[in-house]
Each structure stands twice: as structure tokens, then as C-alpha cells.
Structure 1
Amino acid sequence: MIPRVAILGCGHMGSAIAHGILNSNALDVSLIVADPNLDKLEQFAKTAAIGSNDNAVAVRNADTVFVAVKPHDVQTALTECAEHLANKLIISVAAGIPLNQIEQWLPHDAPVVRCMPNTPSSVGAGVAGVFANAFVTGYQRELVNKLTQSFGKVVWLSSEDQLHVVTALSGSGPAYFFYIMEAMIKAGCNLGLERTIAEQLVVETAYGAANMVRKTQQAPQTLKEQAETPGGTTIAAMTSLDNDNVQVSIAKAVEKASARSVKITEEF
């Protein structure tokens, strides 16, 4: 039986999930996307997805529902179509809303998965941390794997609290890399390069470094040390970064993001 998937919300993340599913050669699903903004549905006009501006219509015939609306809209989105959600797998990508709160807005014993993807999902290169409640079956877990892998990698967590760290590390993580990349580009420009050249060098270097870690399966620290020739340029740069306690600053930034995630959860 072909899985029938509904996605509520066509913002950046909802659209990324939808396009990932549509572009996957390994998935055969029936997809319906819902958003009250008809302009956001227009992007799916020439795809296999069905568009609707009514959440209840979207979930009625689905067996799996992605909740990708803004956090403050989750309760409304779920309660307005609760009568159609019995025995359906709910996958929430809304940051900060805990399982016990989501469960209160759903029929009794609803299978729910919390999923924290990141923005590179929009180009099929994301990574998502996921955690399921006790009512999610083995088949549904495998379905979550297949759906999530259509827009990136998936990592199953052993506790819901770990989602705070995932949010801080990989959820917000792309922005950290963009920040570092922009600093490097500006440094290159200050030293005499045209921005287009500096940007190309930095982007390809970032891609190559990440790919090198993945393919060699060596720790970033090991690869860094291999590049640090005594008396060379790399070790001069690394010494400057260490003297400025850059690793400490990065650790503090991740801790701040995790603490903010905890605070957001407490608001619900």
C-alpha cells in the first residue's frame, strides 16, 4: 500500500520536506500539501502533490501527517482536524513543543514523532534528530526513516531532552558555518581578493572539508593536526584562534542555543 502523506504548512521547512519527498527516487507516496496561503501552494502546481488550503481536507485521507506550521499555530492546526487524526502517524517539526503537549491535542494513544531537521534539507543535504513516543510502531519508524532520508540524514535519539542539544547543534548549526564562512570571505576581500573569488574559495573549501571528514571517517581534530605543519601557515592561524579562545566561544554559543530551546519548551 502506498503511504499517503499530508504536510501542514508550506513555509521553508514544510516546502523543503515536500520537495524532498517529491524528488526522491526511492519513495513512492501520495502527497498532499496544505497551507492557507494559496501563493505558497503555487510552487506545487506542476508537481505530483495535491494542494489544499484546508488542513482537515488534507489529513482526511492521509495515514501520515507532517506538522510544519509555526509553533504557535500547532494547537489550532491539530485541533481543527482532530476528528480525522485517529491512528495516524503525526510527525511534528515544530521547535520547542514537547510530546506530552502535542499528545493532549490529539486522539488518545496517538503515535507521535518529534523531528528536528535543518535548513540544508531544502537542498536534500539536511540532518534531522528524531524521537518517538511509545505508540509509534516498527513499521512507522521505518516510514519515518524513508521520509526523512528523502531530504537528508536521520539520527534517532534515546531521549526527548536530547532534542534541545540537536536544536542547538544541527538545527541552528548551519548558521554557525555561514557566520564563519562570511568572516573568511571578508578576510579574503580585506587581503585583496574580489568577493566572487573569495566566496568561491571559501564555499568549496567548506564543502571539501566536510566531505573529507565524511569520506575518511577521521575526526576533525585529527585532520586539523595533519594540516598543521610546524612553522607553516595553518598552525599560525590555529595558534591565533586558540589565543582568542574561539573554541570556548563556539561552545558558549551552542550552550546558549540549547538553553533557549529549553526555555521555549517551558513556555508550552
Structure 2
Amino acid sequence: MSLRIVVCVKYVPDASGDRRFAEDLTVDREDVDGLLSELDEYAVEQALRIAEASGDGAEVTVLTVGPEDAREAVAKGLRMGADRGVHVEDEAVHGSDVMGTSLVLARAVEKAGFDLVVCGMASTDGVMGVLPAVLAERLGVAQLTLLSEVSVDGGVVRGRRDGDRAAEVLEASLPAVVSVTDQSGEARYPSFKGIMAAKKKPVVSWDLDDLGIDGGDVGVAGAWTVVDAAAGRPARGAGVVVTDDGEGGRQLAGYLAERKFI
């Protein structure tokens, strides 16, 4: 049987834009441009490399959860070379934390069918980095996280996790969940051929009913963590200008010493 790889990706607000909270204190995704999380591009890349190395017709599915615009995250994965996409869209998912999101992803992964799930190391909006572990727990499979190298051979996934002083070599039998870091290998750019081919690749849409999930278990209502209050970043104050009339060095040193920088 061919290897079935599912890549979990997220459509996030552009980090270079003006990100803010909406009135309900969830991340404002309406008034800012979005894109496929950069860290998830590494996950797509590693999934494609594993599929190419398997040589047995492995299939790569790109899965995302989010509003209508999140479909673009799936489209980017298809243009990179994935075979099919799954988009879970339901208004009840709005405001989900990692627990709600992991529940939806787990049900979708099970419905899609999988041998290996590949995730990025974190999303560039939430930056929690715990979803792969929670997802593996919900699926009841092994997890290998924060890998800088990953490969699959003979029903076993192997990887290397780099630490400050040493590197660990890990392995687990499939099925399993892995997450990869931004050191795992540069993500490929979609080719013109890939862009054209992506238009014909299948993308299925599911809602919570399709996954057998009660709306009260996800979204703001089912969140384990909530934002109680938020305030905008204060405006940047004017800097101190030091005019060098021969005493500029002393003035600068005094300024730094006053603020305990020296």
C-alpha cells in the first residue's frame, strides 16, 4: 500500500502587516492579508521529499482548518507539488485554541486516511509549537517533534533533533506525527508546471458535521484559554538627539549609564 502523508498547514495573517485583535479578542483575520505560514512550507517540502524518496506512488494531502480564505494555504501546497487538499471550514471553529484545533485536525486526518502526519514547528501567529504533540495524542500514535532531518524507510520514520549541545536521533513505527524545523531544508518554489497542474487537483471541503464534532467543543465556547483584555502597542516616542560639540561622547555615555546599559 502506498504511503499516505498528510501535511497540516495554517493560513495566518501576514507578519509584515498590522496585526491586531478583533472586537471579540480573537486574532483579526478580516482586515489583514493572509498567507501560508512560512514554517509550514518546510513541512510541505519534507512531505514531498519523503514521497519522492518512497518511489511507491506515495500521496501527499495538504490539510487546513479555517475560513474561506484559508483555502489559499491548501492551494499553495498543491502548487508546490502535493496531490490533493482538504479544507475544513465551519463558523463554529472561529476562536479555537490549540485544543479545539487539534480535535478538528485529528478527525480530519482520520477521515482522510494517513500513515504519516507532517507539521511545521509552530504557526507564525500563535507560535505555541505544541499542536503536533497534542495531535499525536488525539490520534494515539507516536510523535517525533522539532526534527531538522526526517526520512521514512520500511514502515519506520527516523529523524534528528538538534539541541544546544547535542543531537538526538529518533525513530518510530508508522503511523506517526512529526514536526520539522526551519533547518530541515529550503522549501521549493512552485514551478509554472506545478501552478498549472494545481488547478486540476482535487480539494474537498468538510464541516464539523462531516467530522462528527459538536460545535460546543471547539471555537471560543470550547477554548481552554481565552484573552481577557488587549491593548494596542503604545506609540513610539521621540529619540534623544545628541549634538556633538566636543562633548558628544560624554553625553552618550551618560545617557547609556542613566539607563543602566553600561
Name the structure with the higher strand share: 2
Name the structure with the higher helix share: 1
Give TM-score scaled by structure 2 length.
Answer: 0.35
Larger radius of gyration: 2
Give TM-score scaled by structure 1 length.
Answer: 0.34
**Which structure would you say has the larger RCO, counting Cα contacts within 8 Å and 6 or more residues apart?**
2
